[in-house]
Chain A
Amino acid sequence: MKLDVSASDAFVEFAGIQKTYDGETLVVKNLNLRIRRGEFLTLLGPSGSGKTTTLMMLAGFETPTAGNIVLDGAEIASVPPEKRDIGMVFQNYALFPHMTVAENVGFPLRVRSRSKTEIAERVGKALDMVQMRNFAKRMPGQLSGGQQQRVALARALVFEPKLVLMDEPLGALDKQLREQMQIEIRHLHESLGITVVYVTHDQSEALTMSDRVAVFENGIIQQCASPSELYEQPANSFVAQFIGENNRLPGTILSGDGTRCRVALADGTEVQATLTDSAPVGGPCLLSIRPERVKILPAEGSLPNRFEAEVRELIYLGDHLRVRFALAGLDFIVKVHNAEDRPSLDIGTRIPLGWRTEDCRALD
């Protein structure tokens, strides 16, 4: 794949990492991942998929059961957390409740025995960076969630670590604040040039912030790619389902020629689709089609796939409509742009739908 990172490029490398807590189930199964210097990489996955565990192994709070982690060219298995020089932002901020904001941010500098003046100066700068200087004397308990979040961020950045880990840092914030903080974190990443490993289970957060996203499930990376590649070319049906919305049509691959294939649906309908590595020719597959890539009333012959479907339900969402069709006996969602010339869609009528081969992927 074009986004693969070579071993020499890697700043962080997980090589054959496995982790079990109880000796029975592997929470992380054979993790291989390389992270570039200066990259913003997100671990995305459902709850319990092993994201935090991966982060904790990198930070040094859990030891891998098998495999190596290399940081900046050196194996770190025997390096204790405080020597790894990794800034970490925890899910619930983990601010020290008995210290003021300034003391919290100054903590990493104090343990490094910096001079008072240097500490004061750098704490001030770090608080400026997150626009929290006016709150320096407050205790963490007197701050709102978003403010605590910023302090945690300043504290993780103030000692200029080479790597910053963030475990669902925005999980507790409301939508508006979360979006604002996403942009701020992204800006900080760009201006400071640090490497960030970010954990979230919110897919839109992952897509908006990351250079690359590693999709986790059951302790395995299902796909690690740029946001657009994840969305446009999901490697398997889990990724297609997890990132964005898709229509799933089960079928059998009749024949394929390397990039394209013909798929027969249960009722015999034949569909032209893009062949992927996850489904073999001759075997069963799931066709994945994004709702916004389906055209209604396509001109005859303009698209390789063209089928009639019955309108079942209309949901009006302002700028677009979600239309539920019945296609080959299955539910099929289509997003219709609410343009002035959109066709009228009456429930019960049969309307032709169509999509390109590129927009229809045969997955496992």
Chain B
Amino acid sequence: MTATNLLATSDGVPLKLLLRRAERMNRLKSLALVAPLLIFVMIVFIAPIASMLAIAVQNPEVAATLPKTLVALKDWDGKSTPGEPVFAAFADDLAQAQKDRTIGFVGKRINYEVPGARSRFLKAGRMIDAGGVPPWKDKFLSADKDWGDVEFWTILKRAGSTVTPYYLLTSVDLRQDASGAIVHTQPDQSIFIDVFSRTIWISLLVTALTLVLGYPVAHLLAILPNKYANLLMILVLLPFTTSILVRTTAWIVLLQTNGVINDLLMLLHLESSRMQLIFNRVGTVLAMTHIQLPFTVLPIFSVMKSISPNLLRAARSLGAGPLRAFVTVYMPQTLPGVGAGCLLTFILCLGYYITPALVGGPQDQMVSYFVALYTNRDLNWGQAAALGSLLLFITLALYAIFNRFVGIDKVKFG
């Protein structure tokens, strides 16, 4: 028996056991306390993210609608147009799909990879409804010779799998060609790399601007006597009291070609013609910077507030001039706040949607805009989910990089 086992209470129960029992009670109690929040977070946060990740790779349309065709395609050599059995199975499936009104869905899914496929599917459906009889192959081919295209059948066969990398590949401007190799999409359809880099670039720019504008404000807030600091704090927080939509539309009023700022510039004869300040990058960055400023300022402020003014004084008394004291003693200690504020703003910026949509031009739309577009207009949830998932991965990756080089434990949010 070891010494620790010998430690026991007078009635012979080992102390360790008692300790564990006591701790288990405490753990259960604290778990019960956080349980409501935990459940809430699970339901409104974890679950949607999980389902988004799943939707990004799910591919149910073809497998559900064309089961017989997929069976028939199993033995297809993939080199020439499939034979009559495949077309017969296809006609069978389409007849069923026509009845179930699912033909549009599968047509749309194939249409992502084979332009024009949707209308061909719908036409074929009508043809079958009209009461055709076998052999089907010739009928299909005479209706549209594209039904004989080998690549079409390759894609259809591949789309039969219930999971697909298609949406994720599209999100980074890649696709699988007929042989299954991963290649770049045609230049005219390659937009997402551009959108992602634009999203990151705008976010970086806005973060930098809020830092440059916000740092002195935070410093002022931290050193002013309370009565002035409170007033200034209200001004800093004022944007929070109006909705993002209201603030953004206010920018439209200010920035539009016949808006206040242009009127002022004309009045002062600073510009000979009216400037385009909105529906472009300038408007987007301006409005986003305005909205994000408090998020950057507040963590910096709260860290600055905790820095003793005596540190600056000590540096001065030791011989450092005001600037040197500020840079070598004060600024390094504000870094945790700077890190927190910038991280917060940057991550929030990555998800911006309304503001660029309202005050940006076509070249300023960020990832979220396309997520919304695919969700609402194109009803292409797979693509929307893939873009969302990718944005999530990028955010996590940037966070990991930040953590690696700065250390999240060194960051103070308040």
Binds B, one of A87-95, A121-129, A243-251: A87-95
* Shortest distance between the CB of A105 and any CB in chain B (Å): 10
* Contact flag A94-B316 (CB < 8 Å), given A82-B321, A111-B324: no
Those of A85-123 within 8 Å (CB) of chain B: 85-88, 90-92, 94-98, 107-108, 111-112
Contacts of B130 in A (CB 8 A): none
* Contact flag A107-B310 (CB < 8 Å), given A96-B329, A98-B333: no
Judged by a CB distance under 8 angstroms, whether B187 is at the interface is no
Judged by a CB distance under 8 angstroms, whether B246 is at the interface is no
Residue with the greatest number of chain A CB neighbours at <10 A, chosen from B313, B318, B319, B329: B318
- Find out whether the CB atom of A86 lies under 8 angstroms from the CB atom of B317: yes
- Find out whether the CB atom of B308 lies under 8 angstroms from the CB atom of A92: yes
- Find out whether the CB atom of A59 lies under 8 angstroms from the CB atom of B333: no
Contacts of A155 in B (CB 8 A): 318
Q: Which one of A80, A82, A85, A96 contacts B311 once the chains associate, using CB atoms below 8 Å?
A: A96
Q: How far is the CA of A59 from the CA of B322 in the complex (A)?
A: 14
* Contact flag A111-B310 (CB < 8 Å), given A98-B332, A98-B333: no
Q: Which one of B315, B317, B322, B324 contacts A87 once the chains associate, using CB atoms below 8 Å?
A: B317
* Shortest distance between the CB of A227 and any CB in chain B (Å): 28
Judged by a CB distance under 8 angstroms, whether B314 is at the interface is yes
- Find out whether the CB atom of A111 lies under 8 angstroms from the CB atom of B311: no
Contacts of A61 in B (CB 8 A): 313, 316
Q: How many residues of B contact A (CB 8 A)?
A: 19
- Find out whether the CB atom of A82 lies under 8 angstroms from the CB atom of B317: yes
- Find out whether the CB atom of B315 lies under 8 angstroms from the CB atom of A107: yes
Contacts of A95 in B (CB 8 A): 314
Judged by a CB distance under 8 angstroms, whether B204 is at the interface is no
Q: How far is the CA of A326 from the CA of B317 in the complex (A)?
A: 54
- Find out whether the CB atom of B317 lies under 8 angstroms from the CB atom of A88: yes
The residue in chain A whose Cβ has the minimal distance to the Cβ of B335 is A98
* Shortest distance between the CB of B224 and any CB in chain A (Å): 15
- Find out whether the CB atom of B314 lies under 8 angstroms from the CB atom of A94: yes
* Shortest distance between the CB of A107 and any CB in chain B (Å): 6
**1/0 per residue A55-81: CB within 8 Å of B?**
000011100000000000000000011
- Find out whether the CB atom of B320 lies under 8 angstroms from the CB atom of A111: yes
Q: Which one of A60, A87, A94, A111 contacts B308 once the chains associate, using CB atoms below 8 Å?
A: A94
The residue in chain B whose Cβ has the minimal distance to the Cβ of A105 is B318
- Find out whether the CB atom of A108 lies under 8 angstroms from the CB atom of B310: no
Those of B318-353 within 8 Å (CB) of chain A: 318-322, 324-325, 328-329, 332-333
Q: How far is the CA of A111 from the CA of B328 in the complex (A)?
A: 10
- Find out whether the CB atom of B311 lies under 8 angstroms from the CB atom of A81: no
Q: How far is the CA of A84 from the CA of B328 in the complex (A)?
A: 20
* Shortest distance between the CB of A286 and any CB in chain B (Å): 40
* Contact flag A59-B308 (CB < 8 Å), given A82-B321, A98-B332, A107-B318: no
**1/0 per residue B204-224: CB within 8 Å of A?**
000000000000000000000
Contacts of A90 in B (CB 8 A): 310, 313-314
Contacts of B324 in A (CB 8 A): 111
Those of B113-145 within 8 Å (CB) of chain A: none
Q: How far is the CA of A80 from the CA of B320 in the complex (A)?
A: 10
Q: How far is the CA of A90 from the CA of B313 in the complex (A)?
A: 9
Q: Which one of A82, A91, A156 contacts B320 once the chains associate, using CB atoms below 8 Å?
A: A82
* Shortest distance between the CB of A297 and any CB in chain B (Å): 56
Those of B254-279 within 8 Å (CB) of chain A: none
Q: How large is the interface on A (under 10, 10 to 19, 20 to 34, 35 or more residues)?
A: 20 to 34
Contacts of A94 in B (CB 8 A): 308, 310-311, 313-314
* Shortest distance between the CB of A106 and any CB in chain B (Å): 10
* Contact flag A81-B317 (CB < 8 Å), given A90-B310, A92-B308, A92-B310: yes
- Find out whether the CB atom of A81 lies under 8 angstroms from the CB atom of B310: no
Q: How far is the CA of A82 from the CA of B329 in the complex (A)?
A: 14
* Shortest distance between the CB of A94 and any CB in chain B (Å): 4
Residue with the greatest number of chain B CB neighbours at <10 A, chosen from A84, A86, A87, A97: A97
- Find out whether the CB atom of B316 lies under 8 angstroms from the CB atom of A81: yes
- Find out whether the CB atom of A88 lies under 8 angstroms from the CB atom of B320: no
* Shortest distance between the CB of B215 and any CB in chain A (Å): 18
Judged by a CB distance under 8 angstroms, whether A216 is at the interface is no
Q: How far is the CA of A108 from the CA of B324 in the complex (A)?
A: 12
* Shortest distance between the CB of A53 and any CB in chain B (Å): 13
Q: How far is the CA of A60 from the CA of B328 in the complex (A)?
A: 20
* Shortest distance between the CB of A52 and any CB in chain B (Å): 11
Q: How far is the CA of A316 from the CA of B311 in the complex (A)?
A: 47
* Contact flag A159-B318 (CB < 8 Å), given A92-B310, A111-B324: yes
- Find out whether the CB atom of A59 lies under 8 angstroms from the CB atom of B318: no
The residue in chain B whose Cβ has the minimal distance to the Cβ of A56 is B313
Contacts of A97 in B (CB 8 A): 333
* Shortest distance between the CB of A168 and any CB in chain B (Å): 12
The residue in chain A whose Cβ has the minimal distance to the Cβ of B313 is A61
Q: How far is the CA of A108 from the CA of B325 in the complex (A)?
A: 11
Contacts of B328 in A (CB 8 A): 107
Those of A162-211 within 8 Å (CB) of chain B: none
Q: How far is the CA of A98 from the CA of B327 in the complex (A)?
A: 13
* Shortest distance between the CB of B151 and any CB in chain A (Å): 63
Contacts of B321 in A (CB 8 A): 80, 82, 111
- Find out whether the CB atom of B313 lies under 8 angstroms from the CB atom of A112: no
- Find out whether the CB atom of B313 lies under 8 angstroms from the CB atom of A81: yes
* Shortest distance between the CB of B167 and any CB in chain A (Å): 47
Those of B28-80 within 8 Å (CB) of chain A: none
Contacts of A108 in B (CB 8 A): 318-319
Contacts of A87 in B (CB 8 A): 317-318
* Shortest distance between the CB of B79 and any CB in chain A (Å): 69
* Contact flag A111-B333 (CB < 8 Å), given A81-B313, A92-B308, A94-B313: no
The residue in chain B whose Cβ has the minimal distance to the Cβ of A83 is B319
Contacts of B333 in A (CB 8 A): 97-98
* Shortest distance between the CB of B309 and any CB in chain A (Å): 9
Contacts of A98 in B (CB 8 A): 332-333
* Shortest distance between the CB of B286 and any CB in chain A (Å): 35
Can you show 18 pairs from A to B with CB atoms below 8 A apart?
A80-B322, A81-B313, A81-B316, A81-B317, A82-B316, A82-B319, A82-B322, A86-B317, A87-B317, A88-B314, A90-B310, A90-B314, A94-B314, A107-B318, A107-B320, A111-B319, A155-B318, A159-B319
Top-5 shortest CB links A-B: A94-B314, A108-B318, A94-B310, A88-B317, A81-B316
Question: Could you list 15 further interchain pairs (A-B, Cβ under 8 angstroms) beyond the known A84-B317, A156-B317?
Answer: A59-B317, A80-B316, A82-B318, A82-B321, A86-B317, A90-B314, A94-B310, A94-B311, A95-B314, A96-B329, A107-B318, A111-B320, A111-B324, A155-B318, A156-B318
